Structure 1
Amino acid sequence: MYQGNLAQCAAYAVFLLTLYQFSRRNLLLTEDFLMKKILSLSFILLLTACQQTPNTTANTETTNQAQAVNAALTKPHVEPEVNIPESIKRPEDYADVWQRIRSQLTIEVPDNEAVAKWREYYLSHPNFMVTISQRAEPFLYYIVEEIEKRNMPLELALLPIVESAYLPYGVSSMSAAGLWQFMPVSAKRFNIEQNWWYDGRRDIVESTRGALDYFEFFHDTFDEDWLNAVAAFNSGEGRVGRAIRKNERANLATDFWSLNLPEETTHFVPKLLAIADILKNAEALNYSFTPIENKPALAIFELEEQLDLSLAAEWANVELAEIYQLNPGLNRWATAPDSNYQLLLPVAATNTFKENLSRTDKKDWLRWQRYQVKAGDSLGKIGALHNIDVAALKKLNDLSSDMIRIGQELAVPVTDYKAYPLALAKLNGSQVTHKVKRGDTLWDISRKYKVKVHDIVRWNNLPSDGFLKLEQKLKIIL
């Protein structure tokens, strides 16, 4: 058995500690377990030996060494913090999505009056980006990932700030809709579906796919010039193309800054570049972007059958309003019949929803009640009452015509909730367009949208007599 003075005991202990740390770093799990057993036995033998050591007066050096050994033996193991240099960071290494975007900004921002004007505007409204971060939080990570997959400039992730202020229910006076503000014709061109049940222009997944397809097309069309591609996204490829050809005939430059484009477009591109420049130089400008975690906020579930959204909310254990907020493309109380749908849910709800969905027969994904036909009823009237289109009502009840009889029983959906898109649009402070129909009055319109008559007059610069024209488009701010 080993016997020696205190200094020798301490030295032996240091050796054993070093051996133990080496085993943790270099041995397999089973070997590590065995080493721990050997070391435990060795320490017992060490303590026994040291207890038999003659009682001598230790000098200061020996005492400090023993205290250091004791501290080393009792201190918990802490992995060193790894600081990755900015130059070799991968996109997923960042804690914040805004930082992830900042690290990949590539479009040159010119030092000109147009950009400076909008830079000053945004810098003078610091709360604007706070609001944008709140709205973008569920969607920004997904959009950034989709842009990166296509090796496109990350500046495009900032474009919904300019287009819609990241309001998925936003509708322009020209009837453009969604985060990316697709017009109906453009949406159709890039296979974004629109029907009674669903408007893909507002759908996060489909509108982002369509927007990036659009940008790739414009980028190829305009000699890989991203600024001209962004301009075309705003004003159309025809208008940008004509401006380019006009400059070519006059032997003038064809970059964005040299083109004669509509005023809205001449502001559109500088707005985007100003935001990108502020993000890139946020620290120097003392401008804060509220952090958004650099990890998925949404999970996508592929649904092959129609699903009642109130059931989806119940199975995911989330509020119904949140289902609509994450799936703004849905117009009704359920996903569309005879159509696949990509349902977005919070990541935290993934397991709960998946378990409940798997336990339920697909025929029970909808909730129905019986309705008895009364005098004066029609399929259109019943459909409007229960928020279902006539075609779906006929299919559900196996009807070959629009004929129904008094006393006949029909299956209709249970719609015991009010969280429809219009209510959510009001929640998000969106804008909608009302087209004046025969018989419309300002009073009727104000009651429909629950706004004040004088606000409708003010928003649309209407004459004092409040006269409305048939088919006139009115801006309504909800």
Structure 2
Amino acid sequence: MRRAWPAVLVACSCAAFAQEPRPDPAATEPPAPASEPAAPDADAPAADASPELPEGMRSGREIYQAFLDGLAEPGCDAGATRYEQHFRHAPARLADPDSDALPLFGHVVDALRAAHLPTEYALIPFVESGYAPGARNGGGPAGLWQFVTHTARHHGVPVTKHYDGRLSPAESTRAAVQYLRKLNGMLGGNWRLTAMAYNAGESRVLRALRHSGEQALEATPGSLQGLSGVTYAYVDKLHALACVLTRAGEEAEWMARLDRPVLHLEARPLEGAGGLEAWALGNGQDPTVLRRLNPALGQRWTSPPLALVQAIAPPAPVALAPVRATAEVEEAPAVATTRVHTVRRGESAWVIARRYGVAVRQLLELNNLNANSVLRPGMQLRVE
């Protein structure tokens, strides 16, 4: 099977998953007479005003709402199950600004919504790996989705001596969504049976379904006999996780913690450069973030891997202004100005460069630094 180039996750300005605007019921009412205009309150803030997010970022609440809107089974029973207790840490993981779980969760939710699949499947990486893209289970399963080597290769994920695509959240998510879409079609859109087949393999679930004599759409996990206890529990865990996250949305404090800018990620092939640092600097990306999000990447590659990157527009080409004549320069010498930035905790060269509108490479050269230099709080950096 011919396989497209692998890709990386980057941050994006994807508008593909924007919801259609809902009609305003008030729009059907006749307009007020011109002689009786409503007097606006000059001091009142606009009702729909919201802070503008930087390019390549989106609100964590947007991700959460997309997850809720895509659930196949949004209802929850009264009381908490033992699996809900087991996964009670999941909301805190998403709300943690120092964790990559929420942007990765957002990328998976986007991929599932685009494939018209239930967002319960976005919880599979919580169960499998805790949303850690570099997770390994000894010499067996690996990555967000914990693919074994055979399954990964069967779905077009390269696993070689030098490159393990299971550790690429872009590669593995593409393959997982492809596999789930196939299973979902086989099993009549029954999300519970599809999740069981993801865990146990489609042949076992299809055999159990035939023995039950039921149609896939109406079948329940309990009506299928002969599967392992792990497979039955798998569905219960996913539903419990969905309930945990749904109930978390009722907590104002947790929702406030989600209401922050989060990296908007997209999968992109790293074409046009022979290494991560060079590609990042040439495409407006933070190489440290790229490496953290894409543990499959090494320093160099021979074919472009697929990676998750921040969804920002590629840098525009820089036009060079003509050089003025020497005599003119002597008559009106330019005044040299130097601007300095004091590094704050958590800032990277990429963040500082974007703040001042300069290229990362230029910022590093101005300060005699390289891509591996560590920025410490209090350091003074020239930005012009």
- The CA distance in 2 between the partners of 1:132 and 1:122, in whole Å, is 19
User: Does the alignment pair 1:307 with 2:274?
Assistant: yes
Matches within 5 A, 1:32-431: 80-82=46-48, 95-107=61-73, 111=77, 116-123=81-88, 127=92, 130=95, 134-173=99-138, 175-248=140-213, 254-259=219-224, 260-284=226-250, 288=254, 290-291=257-258, 297-298=264-265, 300-315=267-282, 320-330=287-297, 332-335=298-301, 337=302, 339-347=303-311
Which letter maps to 1:342?
A: L
SS at match of 2:99: helix
Q: What is the aligned residue count? A: 279
* 1:168 CA drift (Å): 0.3
Q: Tell me the CA shift for residue 166 of structure 1.
A: 0.2
* Corresponding residue of 1:399: none
Q: Displacement of 1:201 after TM fit?
A: 1.7
Deviation of 1:161 after TM superposition, in Å, equals: 0.8
Q: Specify the alignment match of 2:346 in structure 1.
A: none
Report the 3-state secondary structure (helix = DSSP H, G, I; strand = E; otherwise coil) of the residue aligned with 1:96: helix
Q: How far did 1:286 drift?
A: 8.1
Q: What is the deviation of 1:264?
A: 2.0
Distance 2:264 2:173 in 1: 16
State which structure, 1 or 2, has the greater radius of gyration over its C-alpha atoms: 1
Residue deviations 1:220-248 (CA, integer Å, cap 9, x gap) = 22232211111111111122223223333
CA RMSD of aligned residues (A): 4.3
1:68-98: CA deviation from partner (whole Å, max 9, x where unpaired): 9xxx9xx858663139xxxxxxxx9984311
1:342/1:292 CA distance change after superposition, 3 Å = farther
Instruction: Verify the 8 A CA contact 1:105 1:280 in the aligned structure 2.
Output: no
Change (3 A) 1:287 1:212: farther
| One-letter identity of the residue aligned with 1:297 | H
- CA deviation string 1:412-471 (max 9, x = no partner): xxxx97xxxxxxxxxxxxxxxxxxxxxxxxxxxxxxxxxxxxxxxxxxxxxxxxxxxxxx
Letter in 2 for 1:277: C
Letter in 1 for 2:153: K
Contact 2:169-2:307 within 8 A present in 1 as well: no
Aligned residues of 2:267 and 2:309 also touching (Cα < 8 A) = yes
Which segment drifts farther, 339-348 or 187-196? 339-348
Structure 1, unaligned runs of 5 or more = 1-18, 23-67, 84-91, 360-415, 418-478
The 3 A distance-change label for structure 1 pair 93 and 312 is: closer
CA separation of 1:94 and 1:311: change in aligned 2, threshold 3 A: closer
**Distance verdict in 2 for CA 1:288–1:133, change over 3 Å:** farther
Between Structure 1 and Structure 2, which shows a larger proportion of helix residues?
Answer: 1
Distance 1:248 1:120 in 2: 35
* Identity rate, percent: 25
- What SS is found at the alignment partner of 1:278? helix
Structure 2 unaligned blocks of 5 or more? 1-33, 50-57, 321-370, 373-384
Describe the shift of the 1:355–1:180 C-alpha distance in structure 2 as closer, same or farther (beyond 3 A).
Answer: farther
Q: Give, in whole Å, the separation in 2 of the partners of 1:286 and 1:262.
A: 40
**Residue identity in the other structure for 1:329:** A
Cα distance per residue 1:28-72 (max 9 Å; x no partner): xxxxxxxxxxxxxxxxxxxxxxxxxxxxxxxxxxxxxxxx9xxx9
Normalised by the size of structure 1, how large is the TM-score?
0.49
Separation (CA, whole Å) in 1 of partners of 2:113 and 2:284: 32
263-272 or 132-141, larger mean C-alpha shift: 132-141
Given that 2:123 and 2:241 are in contact with CA atoms closer than 8 Å, whether structure 1 keeps it comes out as yes
